Amino acid sequence: MIPELGHFAAILGLASAFGIVATGFWGAFTSQDSWVEMSIRLAKLQFGALAIAFLLLILSFLQDDFSVLYVANNSNTELPWYYKVSGTWGAHEGSFLLWTLVTACWTLAVALRSKNLPLDLHGYVLGTLGFLNVAFLLFLLASSNPFDRLVPNVPLQGADLNPILQDPGQVIHPPMLYIGYIGFAVAFSFGIAALCTGKLDSAWARWTRPWVNMAWGFLTIGIALGSWWAYYELGWGGWWFWDPVENASFMPWLAGIALIHSLAATEKRGAFKNWTILLALLTFSMCLVGAFLVRSGVLTSVHAFAVDPQRGLFLLGILVVVVGSALYLYFVRASTIRSRIQYWGMSRELLLLINNALLVIAVITIMLGTLYPIGYEWFNDGDKLSVGGPYFNRIFLPLMLVLAFFLALAPISQWKNTPMLLVKKSSILLAGSAVVALVLPWILWSSLNFGVACAVALALWIVATHCKSLWRQRNSLTLGFVGMVVAHVGFAIAISGVAVTSAFSDERDARLQPGQSLVLNDNTYELVDVGQTQEQNYIADRAHFSVNGGMSMYPERRNYRLRQTITTEAAISPGLFRDLYISLGEPIGNRSWGVRVQEKPLVRWIWFGAFVMAIAAMVACLDKRYKRLARRDAIKAATSE
Amino acid sequence: MTRRQRKILLASPLLGFFALAFILTIGFDVGRHDIHPSSLLNKSFPEFELPSLHSQETIQLSDLLGEPRLFNVWASWCSACRTEHNLLRQIAERNDVSIVGINYKDRRHDALSWLFELGDPYSLSILDSSGDLGVELGVYGAPETFLMDAKGVIRYKHVGPLTEEDWTNQIVPILTSWD
């Protein structure tokens, strides 16, 4: 009964999504308030229906209802209750139900939070969001229904949740990512609405900016969580692999940064209007491409869901319809939107343009690297190929250093024209940062490395110029400005972490018997003993290490009984400046164990920097300007009609 | 900028997307049927003399003759290789056939870490860091798998990650026919 109710709720969600499309577009097209009001009410209904559907699926998991195919495939009576709950989004069908719920959630937020929007804009935005969820829900119900029954042969036991997903990081990583991905659907809808109405002014940019910032913030947290999870769960201390699916989330992230910055120029200077719209459309399109890559089985990856040809075709259809029609609309309508005259020279506009150019090159680089294997396979009769990290690192890292260089100039730059004196002054700071960057790594890690010196110098320079302008403007601070400064400092923190941990990580492999120890740098790691532990759904070999005779660390090798899968649980001693990381390898012969010890300096700074950037992006939305000017814009829009 | 140029500029995102959609479609298409190039089938395994991954010794083809060998071309940067690794370990544990790893265009250190982490199914590992042996074998990318008989002739070639079905339906029948 419960799965049937869930199925029905999902169908109700689809019906209300259809309703939102009809009422939203019709209300906007005929400028009738009552229709848009109706679409707001339908947005509430859609959210309610999908929330109930999702809760009922969770309930089926908690009740171990193995007559539901999806539950039988992804859960098990032995699973602790919290992994039963998270198992709901542990595989394709359930995670896609979550995807539609998140879409409904953003639609509801736009419906409720945009009272000040002009009627037609509001209608078009809601209608577009409704249209997207119609497509998603049709896909869900037609080819990936999580409520499908497995009768009459109901299994007594489920097949278990994939062991590497049985982890707290994995519980929150997908929802965060989805919130970010679909948040960009709001920007996409604002872009479509601007093309439909032909109105694109500062007010439009101000309405769009907070949504983009929120979406980007969530996506940042989602990606950082995924990276952090890979670091401690996959057990070999890597934190980024240029895996196709990571790239799929990274491309909209980079495009999102470009969008945030071009929106600033559009709001303040009326510049880059066409380009901003295009970015708004493309950022979400990349999210859809990402969803397609993950769920269609086109690429092989640790993330890929089960392959089903019908699904892939359906998703490809959604992709072509949504992105194709959006870009066609852009082609037809974009020429009606003109930017004001622009100022060049050493201006803030120019810096934002450089920022956008660099980020777009980065996105294209990653896209080529991700899709190249597919094209290669086709042109070479089915031969497969992987493009590895070396390609991405060689192109991407220098691009980011160039980006960091121009980023440091951001706070001293001014619209229209920046006095050269300010630029010259900041170059003194650069010289100082460069000296520190050369000396500091040498003192701390007693080695010199050109890449690290560049990255650290630029990071210090960014911090210096930003702190300086924060101080100069201390009496007239806005949250928007503070958000910008903090986000840029977060970027500086992250690139220092990436550079130092990539260059100065150290590691040693050894074969140890209990009682033996190995030395890495200044630390001694002694294997005290290895015992067996039994948990609810796995058995583990658990080693006890004593580091420097004091601290204890316990790396594990787990054997999950049902799937016969072995996972490595590294023991990590986290530190602000250095992580110690022990993983337990295979048993070798007589009481010996393979052991791998790593020391990773500043690795935590990567995630910390990402987190700082995400929070800063969200804080910037709270700038009072948005609220104050929104009211003024609303009055202006109302009187001009 | 003339009107015409402007039109073309505004159309370029749409055209770019169609190119992308085309690539995705063919990617989707090639995923369906696996085509095996057969140029090396029934030819002798190319001669080589390369260092071992685990030590400074060199390995050459003559060392490996006398029993059937399953050659597996892999690299630590190859994400598709992870998907077949469990199967290789099972094959190695059952002692069905001796598996020889060809570590392709990789760094020794990365390769060793990988094996350390995921387990080592290879009875011998060859370090082909320059990819020369790969070129001789006609390898386009990793992973690829070759079955060589006791006399050194390639009897089967598989491109892409090896699956359970490939193993039971393609390789096992060949192996049993030799027994």
CA nearest A290 in B: which residue? B24
Peptide bond into B143 cis (omega under 30): yes
Q: Do A327 and B14 touch (CB under 8 A)?
A: yes
Q: Output the pLDDT for position A213.
A: 96
pLDDT at B35 over 60: no
Q: Do B112 and A302 touch (CB under 8 A)?
A: no
Q: How far apart are CA A189 and CA A185, in angstroms?
A: 6
Enumerate the domain spans of chain A. 1-166, 508-603
The gap from C-alpha A573 to its chain's centroid, in whole angstroms, comes to 26
The conformation of residue B59, written as its DSSP 8-state character, comes to E
Of the candidates A285, A375, A585, the beta carbon closest to that of B116 is on A585
Q: How far apart are CA B173 and CA B156, in angstroms?
A: 11
Query: Which chain A positions have a beta carbon within 8 Å of B116's beta carbon?
Result: 509, 585, 594, 596
Q: How far apart are CA B9 and CA B13, in angstroms?
A: 8
Q: Output the pLDDT for position A382.
A: 52
3-state class (DSSP) for residue A535: coil
Q: How far apart are CA A332 and CA B63, in angstroms?
A: 68
Query: Which chain B positions have a beta carbon within 8 Å of A316's beta carbon?
Result: 21, 24-25, 28
Contacts of A232 (CB under 8 A, 6+ apart): A169, A570, A572
- Percent of chain A at pLDDT exceeding 90: 43
Arithmetic mean of pLDDT, A600-614 = 94
Q: How many CB atoms lie within 10 A of CB A261?
A: 22
Q: Hey, what amino acid is at A573? A: S
- Percent of chain A at pLDDT exceeding 70: 92
**Residue pair B8/A278 in contact by the 8 Å Cβ criterion:** no
Q: How far apart are CA A182 and CA A212, in angstroms?
A: 10
Q: Do B116 and A386 touch (CB under 8 A)?
A: no
CA nearest A310 in B: which residue? B28
CA nearest A286 in B: which residue? B17
Residues A50-99: tens digit of each pLDDT: 999 999 999 999 999 888 888 887 888 888 889 899 989 888 889 999 99
Of the candidates A278, A313, A316, the beta carbon closest to that of B13 is on A278
- Classify the C-alpha dihedral A444-A445-A448-A452 as positive or negative: negative
Helices A273-296 and A92-113 sit at what angle, rounded to 10 degrees? 160
- Best residue in A385, A567, A584, A593 for a mutation probing chain B (most B CBs within 10 Å): A385
Burial A491-503 (b: 16+ CB within 10 A, else e): bbbbbbbbbbbbb
Largest CA distance in chain B: 76
Q: For B31-107, where are the alpha helices, taking DSSP H only?
A: 61-64, 79-94
The conformation of residue B171, written as its DSSP 8-state character, comes to I
pLDDT at A503 over 70: yes
Q: How many CB atoms lie within 10 A of CB A372?
A: 15
Residues A415-463: tens digit of each pLDDT: 877 777 777 777 888 888 888 888 887 787 777 788 888 899 999 999 9
Q: Output the pLDDT for position A350.
A: 87
Of the candidates A296, A335, A376, the beta carbon closest to that of B10 is on A335
How many Å from the N-terminal Cα to the C-terminal Cα in chain A?
52
Q: Output the pLDDT for position A387.
A: 63
Q: Which of A199, A236, A217 is nearest to A122 (CA)?
A: A199
Arithmetic mean of pLDDT, A222-238 = 83
Residues A286-316: tens digit of each pLDDT: 999 888 877 776 655 444 454 556 677 888 8
CA nearest A368 in B: which residue? B20
The conformation of residue A149, written as its DSSP 8-state character, comes to B
pLDDT at A359 over 70: yes
Q: Do A377 and B30 touch (CB under 8 A)?
A: yes
